[in-house]
Every structure is written in C-alpha cells, then in structure tokens.
Amino acid sequence: MKRYRRVWVVYCKELLETLRDRRTLAAMILVPIVLYPVLMIIIVEALRAETGRRQAERYHVAVPDELHRAWLRSVLDREDAAMEIDDSKAVPGAPGPSINLEEGPVAFLRARLRSEQVEILVLEPGGSLWDLVAEQSAAAALSVEPPPNPEEAADLTNRRVLILQNDTNPRSEYVAAQLGSILQNEAERIVRQRMSKLPGGVATLSPLVLSSISTSSPEQQFAKILAMVVPFLLVIMTVTGALYPSIDLTAGERERGTLETLAVSPVPVGQIVAGKFGVVVTIAMFSTALNLGSMTAMFHFSKLAQLAAGSAPSTTMLPADTIDSAGAAAEGRLTQRDYHERRRQLEAEAKKKTGFIITAAPIVLLAMLPFAVLAGGVMLATCSFARTFKEAQNYMMPVMMAFMIPAMVVSYMPTTRLEGVLLVLPVANIVVLIRELFLGNYQPAAMGICLLSTCFYAAVAMTVAARLYGNEAVLFSDVGSYKTLLRRRFIKPASHPSAATALAAVALVFPFYFYWQSYLVNLDDPPDRIRLVIAGAQLLVMTAPILLLTWFFKLDFRDTFALNRPRALPMVGAVLIAAAIVPVGNFLRAVQYQWFPPGKDLLGDQLLVLQEGSLVSVLLALAVVPAICEELVFRGFLLSGLRGRLSTLATILIVGLIFGLYHMYMEKIPVLTLLGALLAIVCLCSGSIYPAMLIHLANNGLSLTTTRYEELGRILLMPSTYDAAITPRYDYPMLAYAVIFLIGLGMVLLTKRTAPHTS
C-alpha cells in the first residue's frame, strides 16, 4: 500500500502542475469542445452560401446566332420541366436527385443551373466565341454542327455540340459542367422520342430494368461515412493529447531544474515514472473522451446524419412504377405497401436518433484506452532523451509520423478487415477496430486479439519508459554517455536481462512472428512446406533474435535461460505432469468450448495437416523445435527478465498470457495461457528450464503421435470427433489422470524453489 500511495502522490503532483499549463488545457479541452462544432458550422454554412450564391447568380452563354439561341432556350426549358416532373413522381420519403456519396457527406448542398439563370448572348457580326470566353465576357459558349432545329428537336439528324470554357475561371467551369449534364439529358430525351415512333416504342431501349434496394438504414449509411474519418481523427487527437504532458514531464522538468531533485528523492524511479505515466495517460484519455463526446454530440444534435442519409443515391430506391416487379425479384414478393412501410420505419429511426454512434462510443472509448497507454509510453520514453523543450518537440515529429502514417494508410483502405497481420499491427489494428465498430461488425475473437496485442505493446512501452527514465545517461543528459546505451563495449555484463529488455525484445519479435505464420502458412500447401515454415518461424524469427540480444547485452546464458541441472524431486513431478498433460489439457479445452465453441473447420484443418507426412518430421517440426525454442524465449529470457521485478503471481500470469497470445488463434489463448503459467511455475520451482521443456515436448509430441496410433489415442483420452472435443469427460480414467497431474504438481511445488539467477 505504501508503494501505491507514493505513486498516487507523484500522480497528483504532476497532474496539478500539468493542468496549470495553458497549452495542455487548450489541446485537451478547448480544441475538442470548440473545434468540431465550429468546423461543421463553417463548412455547412460556407457550402450553403456558395449554393445560394450560385442559385441566385446569372450567367452569360454565347451562341453563334438566333437559331442557336432559340434551340438552347428550348433545351433549358425542357430540362426544368423534366426536373419538376421527376420531383413530383419521386417515391414519398425517398431522397431527392441522385448524389454520389464518394463526393462527400455534404454533396446534397449542390446547386443546379436553372433556365432563368442563363442569359444567352448572340454573337455580333465579326465577333468570335473564343474571344468572348477567353476575355470572360461570357461564362461559356456553345455551337452546334449541323445547326440545330428548334422546331423539331427529335429529328433524325445527329449533331455535334462544342462547348467552350475557361478552365481558370470557376464560374466558367461550373456553367460548362452544368451545360454538359443538361445536354446529356437532352440527348436521352431525343433518343426516346425517336424510338417512340418505331415498332416496340421506348421499351425497346430497356430490355432489362435494373433497380436495387438498400437494406441499410439512414444511420447505417451515415456510419459508413464516419467510419472513414473518425478513427483517424481519434488516433491523432489521442497522440496530440499525450504530446504536451510527455514533453513537460521530462524535458520541461529538466529545463526547470527539478528533474534531478525528483530523482534523488526517497522514492523509487519506477514509482516516479508510474505517477508521471498515469498523468500522461489520464490527459490523453481525457482528451480522447472529450473529442469523442464532442463529435458524438455534434452528429447527434446537428441532424447531419439525416441530411447525409438524404444524399444517398436514388438507385438504392425502386422507382414507383417498378416497385412490384423489381421489388419482388429483389426481396421475394415485396409489395408496394411493404416497401413504403419499410422505408417509413427507416426514416422514423433516422429522425429519432443517431443510435449507432451512441452505442459504439463507449466501446470505442474502451478500445482507445490501451492505445493511449501505448502512445504515452512511447512519447515519455522518447522525450526522456531531450534536454530542452524545443529538442523534445523535434523528437516528437518522427513519433507523430509513426502514429499518423499507419492510421492514414489504413483509413484509405476501406476494404481491409480486422484479420491476419492487422490484428497485431500497432496503430493500424486500432483504426480498423474502430471502423468495424462503427459499421456494426462485432467480432469478439478478432477484437480480443487486437486489444490484447495493444495492451502488450502498451505494457512494454511503459516498462521501457521506466527503464530509460532511471538511466544515468538519460537522467543527467550527458550526450557522450548515450553511447553506453547503444555500443556493446560500453555495456556492463549482467546475469540476466532487465524487465524492459525482456518485454521489448518479445514485443518486437511478436508482429514479425505473427506475420511470418499468417502470411506464409497456407493449408493448401504440401505438409512438408508447412512444417518448414513453422520450424523456420521458431528458429529464425523467434529464437535467433533473442539469442543475439543475449550475446549483445553480455548476459549470462546459463542464468538467463535457466540452464541448470534439475533436482530429482521436481524432475519426477515434471514426468508425472508430462504423462497426464494431454488428457488434462483436453479436459480444460472442452470446458472452455462449452462456453466458446470452436469452428469445425479449424479443428478439421489442423488434424488434416498433422496426420500427413513422416511422423519423424512432424514430431521434429511441431514438437521438438517448439519445446526448445518457445521455452528458451518464454520460460528463459522473458521469465528471467520479469522475475524479481514483479510478484511471483504477476510474473507467472504475464508469462502465461504472452505465451498464449503468441499462438494467434483466440480459441487457443485461454488453455495455452494456463499451460504457459504451469510451465513458468515448474521452471521457477525447479530452478531449471529442462523440466518445462519435457512437459512441453510431451504435450505436443503425444498429441501428434495419437493421430497415427489409435490405441495410444484411446489411452490418452483423445477426442476423435467434434462433439467429443467440446464435451468434458467426468469418468474414472479422467479422474486418474487428474490425480497423477496433481501429484506431479504437488511434488514440484514442495521443492525448495531455487531461482535461476540471483535478483
């Protein structure tokens, strides 16, 4: 309790001093509360003003002669009449003119050129249409060859229309674009009038009448728009919220001369860093919560969702004259009454509330918590090297880019899903997760891996920050002494790695190992290649970097990896555990499957891969190599780094959880976490890694061998069907294995615990 009280005192002190900084308050409170409403008001009002101005302004269009003038005037009048007819025939409650959503959520604020706005100028003798447009005397010019026929617009003559515009004049571009759209509609009217005089009439042009119905509500359509923008904004605002506190609590204190005083106080460096870190995370999360709350309130009360939903393309609605026929084909006998009823229900929901963002906001805020911890840890560790406030700001630029680039890239990839390597890719996984939440795609397994991996990175960032903050080279800002952090000849030999080194190494290996397995392992490949990829991941991606770091930091290999001779009693206990580990593991897995059933295809594919090929190669790649490599990494390097820094229970749980997280599938994490914790207990109690390797080898090897020998499978109570795999056994053979397992565990626990190294 005394330790936590010290952390709380440091936290309160730093929080009070941080809140006195006007820059922090502005970035944390003023910006999110004022920014979004002001931006939205400015954007919407500016667009409305521009739309109103364009609708009220008059434009000059030049033509060669009176014949052109009469023809163009008749075309504009027919366009106005056609638009009025379309509006009157629209389905009640349906959106207005077709708008492309890709052009933005405010595309509905668009003007349309009306006949009364156009003043047609007839070219004077000796004049030039080119000169009129170039000198901006006319917004655009138009000529038709052969000359048009105002009396008979639908004659059989095909004409070529030339529109002159000035690209440097926005008014000219607008008028030319509007004229192009109007003349395209006129061309369609001429074609229909021509076809109406032929056998079959206009229907000849429409052998297929295509319509589509959108089953999404207006708020779901609006959620799609927000999902492309909000995640990126939240990431940036969270990082920005952690920026100033991180700088002020490190370089700011160094400039004020209070850092050394705080360092010599009778408080451990870890507790000082914990208090400072808590302030950074608090400010970052408070800024995130205010940003999310401000955006939620703006979207909810501004009725922007209803306006944006009203800009949905009209092709998502069935025309009134095709509801019965096309609707029946699209939704299975959808009648006109059903169609109108469903549309009224969706519109009523949109008018009542923007429910999706109210539901998603708390979950999004929860998902941002580990990300805020990660951002705070990275920034606090980076700012620890800065000697001045200005230098810290320079250091923060690449850090900000490191957070912004993945978020921006993923934001422009709307088809990406929360799967594969994106599950564990820092920053990008949170952006995709928030986007999926806005779209209503809740995938518990993928969300769990995403959040667990982010929490893992956050814990590593916090540990590394504490390590750097307590280093003399960083604390006293001696540039020359920075070499002691980077050059091997300045590194002092140690018996085991620090907690920061162990966690950072495992965290850096994790995404590469995950990418290697998810990208290269394909169940359609030959079994030999699959085993080679898995063994390569264990040897080259996981173990080799850890061994290299052990050499680089001059660590004692024997103490780091607990390469000690085990005592007789824990070794006998490990043998008993190894004999019962497969039935007990299957029992625990079946209990888990009662609550979270696995997919049948997952179990089937795994068994298929494991059964093919030489048994020796299968055991070597999937039992021997993992038993050695994974134990060296988790029960060796990681366990030796954490032991003595945390309580025994916390160390065992962290090692077990990281071990389970490394195995990719959410269905495997609970049982493998227990297995990892068990192996950590065996290693701690025996003082040696060899008993843990034996249990690991037995667990993998016996499970694989039972796929070849049915009798061994029956002895070890291996399930042969999907139903057997998800049904726990409560018979006497299972009880016997449980007793053997508990006896072996008791023998291990009763052994005098000899540490693999001295703390």
Task: Walk along the chain (759 residues) in steps of 10 and give the mean pLDDT of each run.
Answer: 70 72 62 63 69 80 91 89 66 39 42 84 87 90 88 83 88 89 89 81 73 62 73 82 80 72 66 78 80 70 52 42 44 52 59 56 81 84 77 81 82 75 81 82 80 83 73 51 59 84 85 73 72 87 92 90 89 93 90 72 51 82 92 93 85 90 76 92 92 94 86 86 78 91 91 47
Query: Which residues, 6 or more positions from 589, have their beta carbon under 8 angstroms from its beta carbon?
Result: 671, 725
Q: Residue 438's pLDDT is what?
A: 78
Alpha carbon of residue 96 to chain centroid: 34
Give first-to-last CA distance, the chain, whole Å: 23
**Cα within 13 Å of Cα(629), Cβ side:** 22
Chain position carrying tokens 């003007």: 111
CA 608 to each of CA 245, 595, 603, 707: distance values in angstroms, whole numbers, following the listed order = 54, 25, 9, 10
Residues contacting 25, CB < 8 A, separation 6+:
19
* Per-residue buried b or exposed e for 543-570, using 16+ beta carbons within 10 Å of the residue's own CB: bebbbebbeebebeeebbbbebebbeeb
**Residue 584, pLDDT score:** 93
- Cα separation, 196 vs 206, in Å, equals 13
Name the token pair of 603. Answer: 């179990």
- Contact indicator for 286, 292 with CB cutoff of 8 Å: no
Predicted TM-score (pTM) above 0.85: no
Strand segments, DSSP code E, in 233-296 are: none
Distance CA 384, CA 254 (A): 9
- What angle separates helix 2-19 from helix 269-301, to the nearest 10 degrees? 50
Q: What angle do CA 679, 681, 687 make, to 5 degrees?
A: 95
Q: Residue 69 to residues 123, 144, 232: CA-CA distances in angstroms?
A: 10, 11, 52
pLDDT of amino acid 13: 73
Identify the three-state secondary structure at position 395. Answer: helix
The sign one gets for the Cα dihedral 192, 195, 197, 199 is: negative
Q: What is the pLDDT of residue 737?
A: 93
